[in-house]
């Protein structure tokens, strides 16, 4: 079963606009990661935020984490056509041995940025 | 540093056959995880290996197996292929072998088509 649920499922914007994607999860986590995937290719690691962090920045990316609401958001500022991709959140559960090497992914948000 | 590599990139097999996929992790990474990605089920965890030992396994039938070698390279095998095994198989490596602290970096994937 998928722990992370992204919202919206699809997002269509114009170049230069900001894109915000949300992720909710169910269990206690150690960290949450965001990935990008272009057209069924491999996942590109974007950013990791630890459970004791509330906000993190990387270039045009801003991630927030609210552990009390079990939710995270990814903001891409000044979007470009090259940002067109699927975006996934992945959680690393605080579950002892059963979490070895296991990330739980949401269904993803499909972002389309029109030139 | 070279990223995660996976071979082959594409495979076409027929039902009943078996297949072996290979993954070379980032140099120095000793934890390797495998995932299956399909349009219907999304990204699902198959198993994880560390120091040649399977430490965690997802909810997949015994037809899915894997192993890891002393140089941390990993292979996964699917026997008696079924149409539903058609998917993108992704391998990820992680530097930190601790449970719940998996910052994973993915390879480009192997696209398996079963006819």
Give residue for tokens 């097999």. Answer: B13
Q: Is the pLDDT of residue A107 over 50?
A: yes
User: Is B55 in Cβ contact with A100 (below 8 Å)?
Assistant: yes
Q: Closest Cα to residue B89, out of B2, B4, B3, B1?
A: B4
Distance, CA of B72 to chain centre: 13
**DSSP labels, chain A:** ----EEE-SEEEEETTS-EEEEEE--S-EEEEEEEEE-TT-PEEEEEEEETT-SEEEETTEEEEEETTTTEEEEEE-S--GGG-EEEEEEEEE--GGGGTT--EE---EEEEEE-
* Total beta-carbon pairs less than 8 A apart between chain A and chain B: 91
pLDDT, residue A93, reads 75
Name the pairing type of β-strands A109-114 and A10-14.
parallel
Tokens of B12: 């076409």
How does residue B100 score in pLDDT terms, banded at 50, 70 and 90? low
Tell me the pLDDT tens digit for each residue of B13-62: 999 999 999 999 999 999 999 999 999 899 999 999 999 999 999 999 99
Q: Is the pLDDT of residue A3 over 60?
A: no
Among the listed ranges A23-27, A38-42, A95-99, B88-92, which one has the minimum average pLDDT value?
A95-99
Contacts of B94 in chain A (CB under 8 A): 101
Tell me the pLDDT tens digit for each residue of A10-54: 999 999 999 999 999 988 888 899 999 998 788 999 999 999 999
Nearest CA to CA, how far is B60 from chain A (Å)?
A: 12
Contacts of B43 in chain A (CB under 8 A): 88, 90, 105
Q: Closest Cα to residue A76, out of A107, A34, A31?
A: A34
- Which value, in Å, is the radius of gyration of the alpha carbons in chain B? 13
Contacts of A95 in chain B (CB under 8 A): 99-100
Q: In the predicted model, what is the mean pLDDT of residues A61-88?
A: 97
Q: Is the pLDDT of residue A2 over 50?
A: no
- Numbered residues of chain B with Cβ closer than 8 Å to any chain A Cβ: 4, 6, 31-33, 35, 42-43, 45, 47-50, 55-56, 58, 88, 90, 92, 94, 97, 99-109, 111
């Amino acid at each position: 079963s998928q722990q992370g649920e992204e919202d919206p499922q699809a997002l269509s914007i114009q170049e230069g606009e900001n894109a915000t994607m949300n992720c909710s999860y169910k269990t206690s986590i150690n960290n949450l990661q965001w990935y990008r995937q272009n057209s069924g290719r491999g996942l590109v690691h974007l950013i990791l935020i630890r459970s004791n962090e509330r906000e993190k920045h990387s270039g045009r990316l801003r991630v927030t984490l609210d552990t009390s609401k079990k939710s995270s958001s990814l903001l891409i500022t000044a979007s470009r056509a090259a940002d067109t991709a699927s975006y996934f959140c992945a959680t690393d559960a605080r579950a002892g041995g059963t979490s070895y090497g296991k990330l739980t992914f949401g269904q993803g948000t499909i972002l389309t940025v029109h030139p | 540093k070279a990223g995660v590599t996976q071979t082959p990139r594409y495979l076409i097999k027929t039902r009943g056959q078996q297949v072996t996929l290979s993954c070379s992790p980032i140099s120095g990474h000793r934890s390797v995880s495998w995932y299956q990605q399909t349009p219907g089920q999304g990204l699902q965890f198959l198993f994880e290996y560390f120091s040649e030992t399977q430490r965690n396994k997802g909810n997949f039938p015994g037809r899915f197996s894997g192993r890891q070698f002393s140089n941390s390279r990993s292979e996964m095998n699917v026997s008696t292929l079924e149409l539903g095994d058609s998917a993108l198989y992704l391998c990820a490596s992680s530097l930190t072998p601790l449970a719940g602290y998996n910052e994973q970096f993915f390879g480009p994937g192997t696209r398996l088509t079963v006819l």
